[in-house]
Amino acid sequence: MSLAFSEDTRARHERMLARYPNREAAILPTLHLAQREFGHLSAEAIAYVASLLGFTPARVEGVATFYTMYNRKPVGKYHLQVCRNLSCSLMGAEHLIEHVAGRLGVRPGETTADGKFTLSTVECLGSCGTAPVMQVNDDYYEDLSEDKVDAILDGLR
C-alpha cells in the first residue's frame, strides 16, 4: 500500500484515538483526517483507514458512503457547497445555484477544467437564519446575493 499518513498526521491521529472510547467511534474523525491528507477518499484511502483502525475495508466503506461530507471523487481547490434545502430555497438558492453554475460553466457535481472549483448542492447547512448559505471548503458565507457570490468568487481567483 503506497498511501500513508505523514509523520505529523500520524501523531495527530494517535492523540485523537485516545479521546474515543472505542475503535468504531474513531472511524469518522479518522476519515476526516484522511480526506484532509489525501484530498478525497479513494478506495485506497478507505483501505488504509481500515488497516489503521483494524477493520475490514467494507466496514469503513459502509460508514464513509453513509455520510455526504466525505468526497469519494477528487474535488477542486475550492469546494463550493450551496445549500438547496427549504429555508435557502425560499430565499432564492435555486437562482444562486444557476448563477454559480453559469459563471463557472459546470453543473452541480462537476469540477472546472482548471481544477479550481467543484460545485455541489447540499442539504441544510444548519444556518437557516442566514439563508441562503454556501460553504467554501471550511468557511460559511451567509445572507448571499448574486453580487456577493460574484465578489467571493473573484476573491478566490
Question: Which x/- pattern over 66-105 shows residues binding ligand FES (rule: CB under 6 A)?
Answer: -----------------x-xxxx-----------------
Q: With CB under 6 A as the rule, give the number of residues binding ligand FES.
A: 12
**Residue type present at position 112:** T
Look at residue 125 and give the partner it binds from another protein, ligand FES, none, a contact being a CB closer than 5 to 8 Å depending on partner kind. ligand FES
User: Cα Rg for the chain, rounded, in angstroms?
Assistant: 18
- Rounded to a whole number of angstroms, the distance between the first and last alpha carbons of the chain is 36
C-alpha span between 109 and 26 (Å, rounded): 28
Binding site for another protein (CB under 8 A): 43, 46-47, 55-59, 61-62, 65-66
Give the footprint of ligand FES on residues 6-45 (CB under 6 A).
none
Contact status: 134 vs ligand FES (CB under 6 A): no
